[in-house]
Amino acid sequence: MIKFPFPQPFKHVHPPVQDINKIIDAQLTIGQKASDWVASNLGSWWFIILQTAILMAWVVMNVLSWYHHWDPYPFIFMNLILSLQAAYAAPIIMMSQNRQAARDRLEAHNDYQVNQKAEEEIRAILDHLMAQDNALIEIHRLLDEMRQEKWNKDSC
């Protein structure tokens, strides 16, 4: 009987795949959570609508005020407040973006590791399929020989 050479069964020797998002979220500091919160809220429609409403009310109240204009046209105090908001918002948003870029690098590295593991397992599967193909070819060859012998025996 012919012994067909099959590869050894594949052994999974890698650690389990982990969710990078859960790991990173567990390690966030209060400042990082705050910068993410500010970045997500400053970049939302509700903030744009709220800020527009406040600015319109500011302008209307200062233009139509009959008694006291606390910030008369050209609204220098409002410009100062908006400049301060922009001065603080930009670095906070940048902190959030930098942290997100670091998270993206970790996710890309994790994807690379998962792809390497998948490639290793695919190679093992392909090696096993090649061994099966060779075994089937040999089985077909043996069957053909047996048929040929039987046919030659019946012909005599």
Query: Model confidence over 31-43: pLDDT tens digits?
Result: 999 999 999 998 8
The pLDDT, as a whole number, for residue 97 is 93
Q: To the nearest 10°, report the CA torsion of 57, 60, 66, 69.
A: 70
C-beta separation of 144 from 30 below 8 A: no
pLDDT at 21: 85
pLDDT of residue 61: 87
Listed in sequence order, the DSSP H helices in 3-75 are 20-26, 30-42, 45-64
CA distances from 146 to 139, 140, 150, 152, 155 (A): 10, 10, 6, 10, 14
Each residue of 57-91: pLDDT tens digit? Answer: 999 988 887 778 888 888 999 999 999 999 999 99
pLDDT at 156 over 70: no
- Residue 46 in domain: yes
Q: Indicate whether 108 belongs to any domain.
A: yes
Does a structural domain hold residue 15?
no
Which domain, by its residues, includes 125? 30-155
Neighbour count for residue 127 (Cβ, 10 Å):
14
Over residues 120-139, the pLDDT tens digits come to 999 999 999 999 999 999 99
Does 154 have pLDDT greater than 90? no
